Amino acid sequence: MNNEYRPYTLIAELTYRCPLRCPYCSNPIDYARHGAEIDTDTWLRVFHEAEALGVVQLSLTGGEPLLRNDLEQFIEKASKVELYTNLITSGIPLTFERLSRLQALGLNSVQLSIQSTRPSESDRIAGAPSFHRKLEAMQWVKSLELPLTMNVVLHRDNIGEIPELIALAERVSADRLELANVQYLGWALQNRSALLPTREQLERARTIAEHARGRLQGKMEVVFVTPDYYSVYPKSCMDGWGRRFIVVNPEGFALPCHLAHTIPGLHFENVRQCHLEEIWHHSSSFNQFRGDGWLPDPCRTCDRRTKDFGGCRCQAFHVTGNAGATDPACFLSPDHGRIESARSQASHLSGVPVMFEYRTGRGFSQA
């Protein structure tokens, strides 16, 4: 088969459980209502099937993947089938011994998130005391000579700290610094007024990051991800729906992105019952937004349709109510006004404190 639709990366969301409560968590808002996690053997089979399907990169994420006590088995298996294995973690709970063991079993890289360079602020945003342990975990990663990505999710409360964040990344000798602005879906959409920066904040941060990128080239890669709300055109979300990525969520549903199952009307298959290859090629939901037959106006005739594939389907749904609409982040979208009004709200709220709604298992039975 050709490589037009080939998953290079499997994002394995091992669990929705997490010791942190970040208000922009990428897990679905109703995560606590989801079913039981798939077992060890099912994951091992999924890794095998993924590799056979063309996957070469594995991201072990969550929630907090360290909470799975079979993580060792996963990494050992992934290494056996030659997947490049990345652990995406908060660093909690971790010990140096466990990290060494994971490395010995074949772990290739670690991405660790911090919320701020100021310990109390980092802990406030994470909703749990965590900063010092994260810093220690980053030092362990480097002392084992594992590649380290320091990830910071940016929003209006920490975007002014870019110089300090870059300095911290240099101090811990991160190989890569990911300065990724919040994208407003799920928990982040819920918290949008507490998170969305102003255009001035964003531009200042971008300029500083650009400068650091040049200065550090070849030594530390600096990645700055703009929020869709301030980009002219939409991003090519997941490099196109069902094109390069496959996500398997904690309960075993195979998805084109982390939040695809929040779009009503799509049916997703579960790896408990289905082979990954069958899902990839034949799932009605994976096929729903592939190619350009489904594209709405103005995407249909736009030159950029092969670049951004119409943007993010979840954003289209959560902002316009129609998952098949042009991503409203695009300035050509008829719904772009909704994004503009969120931006002007951000500028009105500048300097005004807005409380976070922390990630909680609300909706979970109260018993």
Partner 1 sequence: MTGDIARPQLSLKVRLRFDRRTGRYLLLYPETGLELSRTATEIARLCTGEWTVDEIAQHLAQFHTEISPVEISRDVLDFLKTLAGRGLLQGLQ
d(CA 92, CA 58): 20
Question: Which residue's CB is nearer to partner 1, number 216 or number 295?
Answer: 216
d(CA 216, CA 220): 5
Query: Is 321 a binder of partner 1 (CB under 8 A)?
Result: no
Question: Which residue's CB is nearer to partner 1, number 3 or number 366?
Answer: 3
Tell which residue, 14, 81, 15, 77, has the closest CA to residue 53: 81
Q: What is the closest distance, in whole angstroms, from the C-beta atom of residue 351 to partner 1 in the complex?
A: 36
* Region near partner 1 per CB under 8 A, out of 108-116, 134-142, 165-173, 289-297: 108-116
Contacting residue, 8, 233, 294, 358, with partner 1 by CB under 8 A: 8
Query: Is 293 a binder of partner 1 (CB under 8 A)?
Result: no
Query: Is 86 a binder of partner 1 (CB under 8 A)?
Result: yes
CB 359 within 8 A of CB 23: yes
d(CA 65, CA 92): 9
Number of residues engaging partner 1 in binding (CB under 8 A):
25
Strands laid side by side in the 109-114 sheet: 221-225, 176-181, 148-154, 109-114, 84-89, 57-61, 9-13, 245-248, 254-255
Site for partner 1 in 48-77 (CB under 8 A): 54, 56-57, 59
Contacting residue, 42, 100, 108, 320, with partner 1 by CB under 8 A: 108
CB-facing half-sphere around the CA of 7: CA atoms within 13 A: 32
CB 197 within 8 A of CB 159: yes
* Region near partner 1 per CB under 8 A, out of 218-226, 247-255, 321-329, 350-358: 218-226
Query: Is 292 a binder of partner 1 (CB under 8 A)?
Result: no
* Interface contacts to partner 1, rule CB under 8 A: 1, 3, 6, 8-9, 54, 56-57, 59, 82, 84, 86, 108-109, 111, 145, 147, 149, 175-176, 217-221
